[in-house]
Structure 1
């Protein structure tokens, strides 16, 4: 496998070269030995070209797709996703109190203002269940409110609500939510608000959800059919044979991979980036386990609640039946009295 990528990127270093540099530095060797065996293998695999780099790691993505240094890359990707020409005006720093600061299995998020002053938020989520539709709506509302506050502050008395532009929430799922499985032939879903009468009002909030796991299955069977799929394959695969297919069909991606492998030559920097990713993944794994345990507890509570409901319903049924039996006993007793009175009357 290593030979495939080295054929395109001769700057890729050998395993021996990388390990020699690591163990010549006491600090780097301590970091390396602190990783698990699987983590060491993963690190060496992508540094030596045995496998591709996971581009959606936060550090790597922001190096390669930095909208400040190389805006044309993110512009092209967003243009293909949104179906319109996109130009990035500026990158907006995340607010310290932003909803995104909640604990989440988030890999990366970038907030940018486009040339028409609309705002796009690009998110990468490892686990889709942590980013349901409700959360997407909250993120979108957060973006809209931030834009409102900023524009109103800039315009002052000249402010008009017509100054507020669209906000786009674009989410790439590494593992998409369960409901996406009902659409195995579709990997991208676009949402916007519309009326039931055909009346058109610009309600500003639009969404785009991209299921990379479903895309991977589709591209496996049908190949790369367009430039958007080329970008998604670049983001989602670390398989050298698929990377080669991508480079043969779209050679312009070679420049991006060259930057990645030049970055990998700086062992110290790439180890720091990898350590950061591992730390984030560990934190997310813990949170994921907590969420699973909480779901299990909630499930047990629901089961107990359901059993309580059934017991209560049974108790009500028993009480009703007892009341009916009591009434029937009273009726039988009344009839017996009547019968006895009739028998006494007939004897007289």
Structure 2
């Protein structure tokens, strides 16, 4: 009898079936044994439906949200987050010479041109710490420059800066950085240029940041209330109960899960995908630890500099006190001499007075 997600997706295999296939193929068995126990359990839970598959894994996301084969899915998602109807004109190749350092915890990268000529770059990050505002600005500038070069080349002398359309940088964070946790009720952060006077000009760069971990916290309290909530649940939730609720309320997601579990039937392919994700995670966990240690070292260095400055200030204060003490000592010495002189003068005057009386 099918239980859990198998009720909805009969192609999901049992734990025993998956393990039997792995054990019968030396290559798969060797890879499986190289994983840690918790990694083995996570893999088995995902492919057997005990837990949902992580949709943001590169291969799964690009398969399910492929703008070339199923553009309507990405169009629907972008329409909801951008707040306007979106039609994908074409998928643009990623530029190998782009500014960004792709060794970070980058999960996927989809670059598309919309029907109105605007460009949208959709990225996902496992760790928000690795995608600070500076990097986001570079991505956006890179995207704008690419459009500028292309449009100027096409238009030639007829080129006008008004020919340049907006560029959107959309970032999905699986685990957001501490800045986002200052806003526990917000998970859609629009960043647009704003003037101090209210003047409105046609700015071209816009950013939308979506911390999925904060969305999940809100989901536990508020539930799925609209279609955008449904999409964010699809992208972030791996609890079977939540997936069951999602496909009952929004059945358009069921074919996407079916596609995912069809992929999971290819054990060798899914194990290769999972191994690649583990390699990226291990590599970047080390990098994250190095960065955190460097931050700690930099913090200690700043504190040492501050203490040195405080010592210098204290030395200066002591020096000034010593100067005042020296000055007071000099004054005391001068007063003492004056006192002695005055006493001597008084004694002289007394003798003179006594002589006059005699």
TM-score with structure 2 length normalisation? Answer: 0.93
Partner of 1:138: 138
Moved over 6 A (4+): none
Deviations 1:132-168 (A, max 9, x none): 2222222211211121112112222222111111011
Residue number in structure 2 paired with 1:344: 344
Which position in structure 1 is the counterpart of 2:353? none
Give how far 1:102 is off.
Answer: 4.7
Residue 253 of structure 2 is aligned to residue 248 of structure 1 = no
- SS of match in other structure, 2:157: helix
Give the aligned partner of residue 43 of structure 2: 43
* 3-state DSSP of counterpart to 1:171: strand
After superposition, the C-alpha distances for 1:252-298 in whole angstroms (9 at most, x for unaligned) are 10000000000001111111111111111111111111111111211
Displacement after TM superposition at 1:201 (Å) = 0.6
Alpha-carbon distance in 2 for matches of 1:240, 1:279: 27
Question: RMSD across aligned C-alpha pairs, in angstroms?
Answer: 1.4
| Distance in 1 (alpha carbons) for counterparts of 2:14 and 2:4 | 14
**What residue number does 2:114 align with?**
114
Q: SS where residue 101 of structure 1 aligns?
A: coil
Q: Which structure 1 residue ranges, 5 or more long, are not aligned?
A: none
Return the alpha-carbon distance in structure 1 between the equivalents of residues 176 and 46 of structure 2: 25
TM-score, length basis structure 1: 0.96
The one-character-per-residue Cα deviations of 1:229-261 (angstroms, maximum 9, x if unpaired) are 100000101100000010111011000000000
Alignment partner of 1:200 is 2:200: yes
- Secondary structure at 1:203 match in 2: coil
Output one character per residue of 1:77-126: Cα deviation in whole Å (capped at 9) or x when no partner: 11100101111122222222212225322222222111111111111112
Distance 2:92 2:61 in 1: 17
Matched, 1:291 2:307: no
The answer for the alignment partner of 1:81 in structure 2 is: 81
Please state whether the residue corresponding to 2:3 is helix, strand or coil: helix
- 2-structure distance, mates of 1:160, 1:258: 48
Paired position in structure 2 for 1:230: 230
**Residues 278-287 or 235-244, more deviating:** 278-287
Give the whole-Å Cα distance in 2 for the aligned partners of 1:307 and 1:125. Answer: 38
Q: CA deviation at 1:318?
A: 1.1
Q: Partner residue of 2:19?
A: 19
Deviation at 1:66, TM superposition (A): 1.3
1:70 aligns with 70
Quick check: 1:127–1:176 contact (8 Å CA) kept in 2?
Answer: yes
Residue in 1 aligned with 2:172?
172
Is the contact between residue 59 and residue 277 of structure 1 (CA under 8 Å) also seen in structure 2?
no
Displacement of 1:325 in angstroms is 1.2
Aligned residue for 1:67, secondary structure, equals coil
**Structure 1 CA distance for aligned equivalents of residues 322 and 129 of structure 2:** 48
Distance between the aligned counterparts of 2:127 and 2:268, measured in 1?
30
Contact 2:100/2:138 (<8 A) preserved:
no
Partner residue in 2 for 1:327 = 327
Work out the number of aligned pairs and report it. 347
Identify the residue that residue 96 of structure 1 maps to in structure 2. 96
Native 8 Å contact 1:107 1:124 kept in 2? yes
Q: What is the CA–CA distance in structure 1 between the aligned matches of 2:339 and 2:168, rounded to whole Å?
A: 85
2:158 and 2:286 map into 1 onto residues whose CA distance is 49
Any conservation in 1 of the 2:100–2:135 contact (CA below 8 Å)?
no
